[in-house]
Chains A and B, each alone.
Chain A
Amino acid sequence: MKRILFALLAYCSMAGAEERRSGLLDMRPEAQAMQRDDSMNPGMLWVLEGEALWGRKPSPSAQSCADCHGDAASSMRGVAARYPAFDQASGSAIDLAGRIIQCRETRQAGTPLARESQEVLALTSFVAHQSRGLPIAPPEDAGMRATREAGQRLYMTRMGQIDLSCAQCHDDHAGRRLAGSIIPQGHPTGYPIYRLEWQALGSLQRRLRGCMNGVRAEPFAYGSAEFIAIESYLMERARGMVLETPAIRP
């Protein structure tokens, strides 16, 4: 029954594909121009730093990312469009930042990297940038289904003192104004994003924590199963939309 419902939902979201809209289009023209011009897009600073890290050994005896994966322009092309993915080793879903952290720990014998650290953001944005212009294409494997369903349930759940679900704003009231700001549809097409409010690059999980704080809820932890589930659902919801990393957002 659940499977049928989910398939139906996936079909409905596909059917509505023409109405889906990147948050890019909700920004004023100057901000859109900033994103579209790499020489003006501050997110490119993280991408360039990530490129440098890609080729650097974390310690003299360790391998660099490039030692195994080679040229990211070909080996990483399309990868970010397929994350979160099912991790056979742990038997659970893993997001792109989680995979980079895992790779550093298990294959590069490096000191563990922290979520939202400069290094993880730089590497994640560099890897995701290799998929810019490609359609979001979440994996079809059965292992991800339960995670997406859990994510969808969380997306629909009212939370916090303000008692709002993600869906109530980003599905039911997208395009309207919360105070002065247009509520976007909430498609994760450009993460990590350079957010003008942060004056920095940050992950989707940081953005989700911002919304949870906004409704006065206790935010989920970085890297938690809950966040990865929501992320998985949002990527499914945005299936076919084009990746923009590094995106600018207000």
Chain B
Amino acid sequence: MRGARFLAGLMLAMAFPAMAAAQALQVTGDAVAQSLTGSAGDPERGRAIITDRQKGLCLLCHSGPFPEEPLQGNLAPGLEGAGSRWTEGQLRLRLMDNKRVNPESIMPAYHRIEGLNRVGSAWRDRPILNAAEIEDVLAFLMGLKAEKAP
């Protein structure tokens, strides 16, 4: 099964060589343990992606510790403490494709291109975030630890 997914990912990568094709998921339990790039992301770049309303889109639904961003959504849990709620691998899977954990989730799959309907031509065949961007966002979110109770 894992081999088949890997093969499918490889075929996708060959079909869209110029694009950042979504990588095949290497899921263990409810987590993707391995970094998609083989290295750790950059939390500063991750923060910039999260607050970019054209890129990460996160603040449309979530709130978070971004005092310079006045208009934050309340459709989804706040991002504070995300790094304490999940392991890095769990959060990586939830960023890549949260519907694998919760099919009813309104959170878009940030790193999946198949199984979507009527995707606009400007967005077709590429994930919302590429592998490096997923790792950057993950690096920032893992740094959002819950404050200890006084």
Contact = CB atoms under 8 A, between A and B. Distances in A.
A87 interface: no
A178 B60 contact: yes
Interface residues of A, number: 24
Interface residues on B, range: 20 to 34
B75 A173 contact: yes
A179 B120 contact: no
A160 interface: yes
B119 A218 contact: yes
Contacts of A158: 117
B70 interface: yes
Interface string B113-149: 0001111111100001000000000000000000000
Contacts of B128: 161-162
Contacts of A183: 75
A168 interface: yes
Interface in A179-226: 179-181, 183, 212-213, 216-219
Contacts of A179: 53, 59-60, 71-73
A107 interface: no
A172 B105 CA distance: 11
A178 B120 contact: no
Contacts of B119: 160-161, 216-218
Interface of A: 157-164, 168, 172-173, 176-181, 183, 212-213, 216-219
Given A177-B73, A212-B120, 11 more contacts: A158-B117, A159-B118, A161-B116, A161-B123, A161-B128, A164-B106, A164-B108, A179-B53, A179-B60, A181-B71, A216-B122
